[in-house]
Amino acid sequence: MPEIPIPCIVFGVGAIAATLVGLRCLRVRATSTNVRATSTNLKPPEVRKTSEEEEATAYAILARLADENGLDVRGGSVRRSSSRFCFGVEHGDYNGTELFGVGTDRFIWLAYKPNGTKQVRILSENFKDDGLVEFTVGETPPPLSVPNTWSRFPFGCDYILRKEGCNTRQGFDAVVYGNIPGGGMSRSASLTLNLLLTMMEVNGLQVKEEFEIIELAQAVENIYIGSPCGQLDQIMIYFAKEGYGTHFNPASKEISYVPLGAGAPDFRIMSLDTGTIRPGLEKSSYKIRRAECEQLVKLLKSKGYPIQNLASVRTSDLWDKILADFE
């Protein structure tokens, strides 16, 4: 298993299980993975990359939110999932290119505890106007039918797990808070991974292959929400490691790490929030660009080019031949 990711650390799971291939889910005892759960009474743990003050603030917010709304999470667990920066690989995942990025020190925290019923009850500090999201496991609205609220994500996670043959039977109380600013740092992928891993742990589910978690998270956004995202965001958040950039090879699905700032007295990656309103990939030009790329691949295949995606065009001779065909 990969080493536990620190900068995007997920204080979360022990038992993760589901299988996309074969649709066979088992109830098993908890096993350690690259993400883990910590039991807590919502007292701030010792942390490394996130400041103690920010961590303490997050835990205080979660405790207050639960107490004010009658949600029982004390003595439960807290899962923390990161955001991400990616470097020079936008639109690369679905085009088959290698990917590179880092996790960041901006997080989503989710405090949760099984409630002994089949009801999921979850409330967000960031979206208070949406109120309490409550549903019976296995009884969620159909895909693409939920209005544009954050409730689509817990609904979608339960729906996809069920769709893939995983019997979610245990409900839980939860509160969630995040400090990921603006748009473009993959809050949706962070939240989806956090919720999926929580539901898997609560129900004693485990995947055969770790990468299936990435595929499940992508399915929530593609199928339930209608966002045509690839796997870039989920990979960079889930596999991030302190002090390293994360490299992903799509051909082998291999994760490797590149040291960043080794020996430097101070090394930071910084970004600016431009204030751009981002309505979601399903409503942006991303969807158009992806369709254009896929259309081009289909056209090239119809002309006999032996490619699977645009990244298959790897030589100047092949590139020149394609250009000549379209002149």
Q: 174-231, pLDDT tens digit by residue?
A: 999 999 987 788 999 999 999 999 999 999 999 999 999 999 999 999 999 999 888 9
What pLDDT, on a 0 to 100 scale, did the predictor assign at position 280?
A: 64
What pLDDT sits at residue 1? 31
Read off the pLDDT of residues 105-156 as tens digits, 9 standing for 90 and up: 899 999 999 999 999 999 999 999 999 999 999 999 999 999 889 999 999 9
pLDDT at 284: 67
Choice between 269 and 8, residue whose per-residue pLDDT is larger:
269
DSSP H stretches of helix in 226-315: 232-238, 285-302
**Average pLDDT along the chain:** 83
275 pLDDT higher than 90: no
Residue with tokens 């009801």: 119
Are β-strands 172-178 and 119-124 bridged in parallel, bridged antiparallel, or unpaired? parallel
Q: Which whole number is the average pLDDT over 77-98?
A: 88
Res. 12: pLDDT tops 90: no
Hey, is 174 helix, strand or coil?
Answer: strand
CA-CA-CA-CA torsion for 101, 185, 83, 133, nearest 10 degrees?
A: -150
State if pTM tops 0.85.
no
Q: Name which of 94, 101, 104, 103 is nearest 248 in CA terms.
A: 101
Share of the chain above pLDDT 90, in %: 63
Task: Looking at 3-125, list the stretches that DSSP marks H as alpha helix, in order from N- to C-terminal side.
Answer: 52-68
Strand partners, 174: 112, 122
Which tens digits make up the pLDDT trace of 18-60? 222 222 232 222 222 334 445 445 544 444 444 788 999 999 9
Handedness of CA 28, 34, 37, 38 (dihedral sign): positive
Query: Quick one: what percent of the chain has pLDDT higher than 70?
Result: 82
pLDDT at 252 over 70: yes
Judged by DSSP in three states, 184 sits in: coil
Which band of pLDDT confidence, cut at 50, 70 and 90, is reported for residue 269?
A: confident
